[in-house]
Amino acid sequence: MRKKIVAGNWKMNTDIREGITLAKEVNRLIAENHVSYTTVILSPPFTHLTEIVKSVNLNRISVSAQNCSSEPKGAFTGEVSANMIKSTGCTHVIIGHSERRTYFKEDNFLLNKKVKHALQNDLIPIFCIGEILKEREEGKLFEVVKTQLEEGLFNLSREEFSNVVIAYEPVWAIGTGITATPLQAQEMHAYIRKLIAEKYDAEIAENTSLLYGGSCNAGNAKDLFSQADIDGGLIGGASLKADDFYKIITSF
Ligand code: PEP
């Protein structure tokens, strides 16, 4: 059975003291309320990873990086490799977030290299895909998402692919306060699952966790997560407040 997952993408927010406080607060809420049916992931900046790993109960919370290098090691000033991330105690890494695609011009081929490095280092990639508003308005949303999957993931072996989590994040919904309706999100999630079944098989498709991201919050998470093909969320802004994040975690 596929996992229910709620992952908090802190982006470039919190200094290390604030990050530890936030992680400990999420940890406390989860422990006190015995939440065990959802995989909870915190994704702080690189600088915080080691401390956040130490601050939470790793049986209840997993820690993720927000990006990794496409190269394994060497003269790449400022880069952080999958192996380095793994050595902090992280288990996941977000790859292909729309902010990386837009501001850092990361394309599907580069992202595919990152996915492979992550998998080689035993990290679970949370691979982000999604269309921009113009593409949706022009009716190209399915085509765009299909290409992102084909170029970014579909050269993985069946075994490799079974370790990937996918986040559908319509770019027009990220950080805008405009959320995809549950039906819009479900429609795309069902389409993604169909593509996975066609490329691999029905079993893999059934077992792949598909997360929704884009202005998901404590008020709308329940409606989104109740959709048949939505297995949780990748949460930006609302993951920076422990209480809100906790409400989302318990929205299944
Ligand atoms: C994100 O950054 O992945 C995201 C979904 O952000 P927000 O929830 O703030 O829209």
What is the band of 34 on the pLDDT scale with cuts at 50, 70, 90?
confident
Farthest-apart Cα atoms in the chain, separation: 48
**Atom 7 (ligand 1): residue with closest C-alpha?**
236
Decide: pTM greater than 0.85.
yes
Q: What sign results for the dihedral spanned by CA atoms 156, 158, 164, 170?
A: positive
From 99, 131, 169, 189, active-site residue: 169
Mutate to test the pocket of ligand 1, among 9, 42, 99, 178 (most ligand atoms within 8 A of CB): 9
From 92, 97, 117, 189, active-site residue: 97
What is the band of 58 on the pLDDT scale with cuts at 50, 70, 90?
very high
Mutate to test the pocket of ligand 1, among 67, 234, 239 (most ligand atoms within 8 A of CB): 234
Whether 115 is in the pocket of ligand 1, judged by its Cβ within 6 Å, is no
Convert the pLDDT of each residue in 184-193 to its tens digit: 999 999 999 9
Q: Please name the CATH architecture into which domain 5-249 falls.
A: Alpha-Beta Barrel (3.20)
Which of 6, 21, 44, 213 has its CA nearest to residue 128? Answer: 213
DSSP-based helix, strand, coil % in the chain, nearest 5:
45, 15, 40
Convert the pLDDT of each residue in 101-128 to its tens digit: 999 999 999 999 999 999 999 999 999 9
The CB density around residue 184, as the number of other CB atoms within 10 Å, is 16
**Ligand 1 atom with least separation from CA of 217:** 8
Mean per-residue pLDDT of the chain: 97
pLDDT > 90 fraction of the chain, expressed in percent and rounded: 98
Task: Give the pLDDT of residue 224.
Answer: 98
Look at strands 92-95 and 232-235 and give their pairing. Answer: unpaired
Do residues 142 and 104 touch, judged by C-beta distance below 8 A? no
Whether 169 is in the pocket of ligand 1, judged by its Cβ within 6 Å, is yes
Distance (angstroms) between ligand 1 centre and the Cα of 201 equals 30
> Taking 90 as the threshold, does the pLDDT of residue 37 lie above it?
no
> Taking 90 as the threshold, does the pLDDT of residue 36 lie above it?
no
H helical segments located in the chain? 16-32, 49-55, 82-87, 98-103, 108-120, 133-137, 141-152, 158-161, 182-199, 202-207, 221-225, 242-249
Cα-Cα-Cα-Cα dihedral of 122, 92, 213, 188, to 10°?
A: 10
**Atom 6 (ligand 1): residue with closest C-alpha?**
236
Q: Is 169 a catalytic residue?
A: yes
175 vs 1, higher pLDDT: 175
